Amino acid sequence: MQKKLNKIAKDTNFFLKKFIVRQKKSDLIVAMKYGLFSGGKKIRSKILVDIGSIFKLDYKTLISIGAAVECIHAYSLIHDDLPCMDDDTIRRGKPSAHIKFGEATAVLAGNSLLTMAFEILSHNNLRIHEKIKIDLINKISESSGHLGIAGGQYLDLSYERKKVSFKRIVDMEIKKTGKLFSFCCAAPLIIKRKNKKDIKKFEDIGADIGLLFQVADDLIDYKGSLIAAGKKTGKDKKKGKATLISLLGYKNTIKYAKDLIFKINIELKKYGSKSENLSETLNYILNRNK
């Protein structure tokens, strides 16, 4: 699994480096590259490739779309660490972008990474039909805005030090983290022009994968170490974050995560051996330490 993930990370980084080299230079590029290449598992690209291979999609196309997703992901991490958000000084074992470059540069580099995602998806070199490109851009925009990552982040901040119900925590985590995974799961079906019902089914699978990912992230914060995680741990408790661990406790949260994997695997059963890579990725997500 790690070998496959490393290859996808290498190919995604190669695509992004080539894409950036072809553009005119700017003073923000150094901070943007820091957000993109200072580590990072590229797990969202892996999910895209796993689902794409079920539907026999071209690997290079999947890497290009994954690169756009990783731009949005990198943007969200840079902004997440800002003093006005989670105020974190370490990310991926290195100083957060605003510590290294200053707040204004971090904000602008983040914004530029968001728009780069749209440049990648609308680029002539991405050899898919124009209408499909519009559908992909529409879906990724929806996943990133007030009904997705930004909206989820707003809820995450506003729930601090409050008693929050299970339903609201799950809704917040699906928006903050799940929506980008939903995009990764739906994109291959959008490209294959599948019907709305099937696309929705894969968006729901993506939401569950994102929830699983966020729960695993919360477990790392609860039990993990700075060295392994590459970021400070034990922050959620200190900040009074509303997480499933704070509501259900550690053991029940692990059970909840395992049940999620069981539920997703049942959904994937009809794809037989073609879904084995994805099932392997799900186990990796829960058992990772960073």
Residue 257 to residue 239: CA distance in whole angstroms: 23
d(CA 242, CA 232): 18
- 251: burial class by Cβ within 10 Å (0-12, 13-18, 19+)? exposed
- The piece of 34-42, 45-53, 190-198, 251-259 that touches ligand GRG (CB under 6 A) is 34-42
Q: Check residue 42 and report its DSSP letter.
A: -
Measured from the CB atom, is 10 or 129 closer to ligand GRG? 10
Cβ proximity to ligand GRG: between 72 and 185 the closer is 72
Q: Based on CB atoms, which residue is closest to ligand GRG, 77 or 199?
A: 77
Give the residue with the Cβ less far from ligand GRG, 191 or 215. 215
- Closest contact distance (angstroms) between CB of 85 and ligand GRG is 5
Q: Is 40 in the site for ligand GRG (CB under 6 A)?
A: yes
Subset of 136-195 contacting ligand GRG (CB under 6 A)? 144, 149-150, 153, 176-177
CA 155 – CA 135 distance, rounded (Å): 27
Instruction: Enter the tokens of residue 212.
Output: 């699983």
Pair of tokens at residue 168: 């609201």
Among 16, 34, 54, 92, binds ligand GRG (CB under 6 A): 92
Q: Is 85 in the site for ligand GRG (CB under 6 A)?
A: yes
Minimum distance between the CB of residue 241 and ligand GRG, rounded to whole angstroms? Answer: 11
Residue at token pair 């993109």: 36
Decide whether 75 or 192 has the Cβ nearer to ligand GRG.
75
Question: Min. distance of Cβ 137 from ligand GRG in angstroms?
Answer: 14
By CB under 6 A, is residue 217 in contact with ligand GRG? Answer: yes
What is the Cα–Cα distance from 125 to 44, expressed in whole angstroms?
21
In angstroms, rounded to a whole number, what is the distance separating the alpha carbons of residues 264 and 183? Answer: 16
What is the three-class DSSP state of 65?
A: helix
Query: What's the min distance (Å) between Cβ of 194 and ligand GRG?
Result: 26
Amino acid at 12: T
CA distance 68 to 80: 18
- 214 near ligand GRG, rule: CB under 6 A: yes
Considering the complex, what minimum distance in angstroms separates the CB of residue 273 from ligand GRG?
Answer: 27
Size of the site for ligand GRG (CB under 6 A): 20
Judged by CB under 6 A, which of 16, 67, 71, 72 binds ligand GRG? Answer: 72
Exposure of 107 in the CB half-sphere (CA atoms within 13 A):
7
**281 near 49, Cβ under 8 Å?**
no
Q: What's the CA gap between 26 and 111, in Å, rounded?
A: 14
Segment interacting with ligand GRG, rule: CB under 6 A, options 71-79, 117-125, 132-140, 238-246:
71-79
Amino acid at the residue 82? L
Q: Tell me which stretch binds ligand GRG (CB under 6 A): 72-80, 117-125, 192-200, 273-281.
A: 72-80
Query: In the complex, which residues of this chain contact ligand GRG (CB under 6 A)?
Result: 39-41, 43, 72, 75-77, 79-80, 85, 92, 144, 149-150, 153, 176-177, 214, 217
